[in-house]
Chain A
Amino acid sequence: MAEKITGAEALIKSLIAEGVDLVFGYPGGAIIPVYDKLYDYTDQLKHILVRHEQGATHAAQGYARVTGRPGVVIVTSGPAATNVITGLSDALMDSTPLVVITGQVASSFLGSDAFQETDVVGITQPITKWAVQIRRAEDIPAAVARAFYIANTGRPGPVVLDIAKDAQVGMLEWEHKKCDFIRSYIPYPKINEQDLQTVANLINSAKRPMILSGHGVMISGAEKALAAVAEKGNIPVAATLLGLSTMPSNHPLYKGMLGMHGNIGPNINTNRSDVLIAIGMRFDDRVTGDVSKYAPQAKIIHIDIDSSEFDKNVKTDATIHGDAREVLEKLLPLINEADHSEWLETFDKCAKVEYEKVIEREVYRTDGPITMGEVVNKVSTATGDRAVLVTDVGQNQMFSSRYFRYTEPKSILTSGGLGTMGFGLPASIGAKMGAPERTVCFFTGDGGLQMTIQELGTIMEYGTEVKIILLNNNYLGNVRQWQELFFNSRFSQTPMVNPDFVAIANAYGIAAETVNSREQLDDAIARMLNHKGAYLLNVIIDYTDMIFPMTPAGAAVDNIMLNATEKYPLD
């Protein structure tokens, strides 16, 4: 008979058995037994002490998205559990695998409003893929195994294990068996041959096809298969925000980003295309604009692992339910070689206008204050376009995702679905820990940075080499932009009095400097990238700078503002 161990120790052993070697967390009363056992396992399981539980979840997201493995979080009950809500919601929206372990009061206290008791399962059910409470030590190994299986198969997502204190101290005979089957859950459906043929026929008969590549392509590792299909059929590819880097930026068939601040070509051509091939994306309203005016000429093909996405926002004409990579590999032989040169040229025309009307004055300005776009462009170039881009939310997010260039897959980490300010700093910590060999460049705003700024302490403690580029406009810039464009320039609560960010970074032992003028920029970027260790570059930005092109919220995708006064197409 196996020796009995506590539930707390079983949890740790099960995590290790699932291949976990790094967890993000924060201790407290209802999880102390786990932390006590962790003390004996530090050689096998490294714990990163964040400075706020929200930071733990975003760090775990960053880790998960660069590694493709679930990020693990351990926190206590009550306020710690409520602090992880934003991260859970963000991870569900952006299909990120997380296993979040919350301590819970002893089961005899459940429902009594005990100290630091909160209904974690009740609160998190709507924002997780699965949430369960564990009240007996002997249930821990199977629940952990199930959690990992659910989190990282099919469409990934966050999972919560709420472990009552008595389950942590109770004894069990530990045995860990990985989960590979749940009767009520089919993560990888069998691909329907008929659907493949239908889709292939649609693609083969298309005159103006376009691929919309989403996060699902990245999650399933379908980048090569995507390129093969696109190249064989000469089909232009556009990416969603989270689908950026699924095709290298310099690939001749890559035509840019979709959505509110995406490139003109893909957005305009959405409404000219006759066949849209959406892969691992979910027709978010930031991509579609007004759905009633979306892609009126197109037959819509939707390939996704989550069939509940079919016809959810946009009515489809054909679907393939399955893993993106598997589907694309099966589709490849069914697709005819084709020449769509005339169609492809239309993208170039749009790109030319975009360059002249937007990019040139944003990225290559020679006078006036520094713009966000030029900083991003310079940093991207200085890293050989090979860094991992992490963004916060706001103008900084849209400028950095637009002007960064991507060479390798899994090179963008941003909060897409939830748009969580404060996501970036902790996410960049997790990203660097998950991909230590890569340069991690984190672009943020003065508002968003201050939402999780305490994680500078985590960087200090673990020496995490994150390059922080603060695009500092002393404004909640994105909101300011909407106020200027749509609310008569009434700048209600968007100007901000900011602290001395360099002093703050220095106080955390992080090298930092401020850049005020264009002439200083190149050298400062070089100093930042050459510095061994974290670095904060506080770049003072023109606060009047606005992110364009822009499809106003709720307008049709081809209703594109080039700036505050001009629209595309120009007369």
Chain B
Amino acid sequence: MEKQLFTVTVFSENQVGLLNQISIIYTRRCLNIESLSVSPSSIEGIHKFTITTWSDRVTMEKVVKQIEKRIDVLKSFLYTDDEIVYQEIALYKVPTEQLLNETNLEAIIRRHNARILEITKEYTVIEKSGHSDETEALFEELKHYDIRQFVRSGRVAITKSPEEYVTMFLEEQARRAEEIN
């Protein structure tokens, strides 16, 4: 089956050891995590993981089910790029001296919609957010200026769907809790 980039989002209780539980599900199936980001979600007490992987749909559907099976995971979803709005951020550290010699620097920064975060005598830190091909393109261009450090964040993503499934799930569970008590 053809491989493509999938984004998995996971909503979980804020428990120690969850990252381990999720990552071993990937490891066991020899799946490389391409990028990962973890942060509190918009819902208090709930953490959100965003994980990208090159794989096929059949495999990824199984992975999502295995993730959801973990007790402290509330919900997990599988997306392709067309179903989400996503972004990454990249930082580039370049020797200032090199940039000073560049007459086109302004053009580069403008063209890539990047910004400069810090300038010292020794180095300059440039920031760019975008899709990975975009941050990659700036990387290619800055290569000529002797990039000293480069870092790109994991993907963060928001769904295009009008439905907020996690909120709906939590509401349903709250009703269930009331029924039981």
Contact = CB atoms under 8 A, between A and B. Distances in A.
Interface of A: 121-122, 125-126, 129-133, 150, 180-186, 306-308, 310-312
13 contacts: A121-B17, A125-B20, A130-B71, A130-B72, A180-B180, A181-B177, A182-B71, A183-B170, A184-B71, A184-B72, A184-B73, A308-B66, A312-B62
Nearest to B12: A184
Contacts of A185: 71
Given A122-B20, A133-B16, A308-B68, 12 more contacts: A121-B17, A125-B17, A125-B20, A126-B24, A126-B28, A150-B71, A181-B181, A183-B170, A184-B72, A184-B74, A311-B61, A312-B62
Interface in B36-79: 58, 61-62, 65-66, 68-69, 71-74
A310 B69 CA distance: 13
B13 interface: yes
B24 A125 contact: yes
A506 to B, nearest CB: 46
Q: 4 tightest CB-CB pairs across the interface, nearest first?
A: A308-B65, A184-B74, A130-B71, A183-B173
Given A122-B20, A125-B17, A125-B20, A183 B177 contact: yes
A352 B21 CA distance: 50
Q: How large is the interface on B (under 10, 10 to 19, 20 to 34, 35 or more residues)?
A: 20 to 34
A306 B62 contact: no
Contacts of A150: 71
Given A122-B17, A125-B17, A184-B12, A306 B69 contact: yes
Contacts of A306: 69
A122 B15 CA distance: 13
Contacts of A125: 17, 20-21, 24
B176 to A, nearest CB: 7
A308 B71 contact: no
B65 to A, nearest CB: 4
A181 B58 CA distance: 32
A527 to B, nearest CB: 49
A52 B42 CA distance: 49
Which residue among A125, A307, A308, A311 has the maximum number of chain B CB atoms within 10 Å of its CB? A308
Interface string B79-114: 000000000000000000000000000000000000
Contact of A183 (B17, B28, B74, B181): B74
Nearest to A125: B21
B43 to A, nearest CB: 11
Contacts of A133: 16
B62 A308 contact: yes
A308 B73 contact: no
A134 to B, nearest CB: 11
Interface string B137-180: 00000000000000000000000000000000010011011001
Nearest to A131: B17
A93 to B, nearest CB: 14
B180 A181 contact: yes
Contacts of B177: 181, 183
Nearest to B73: A184
B46 to A, nearest CB: 9
B176 A181 contact: yes
Contacts of B61: 311
A182 B71 CA distance: 8
Nearest to B181: A181
A307 B176 CA distance: 20
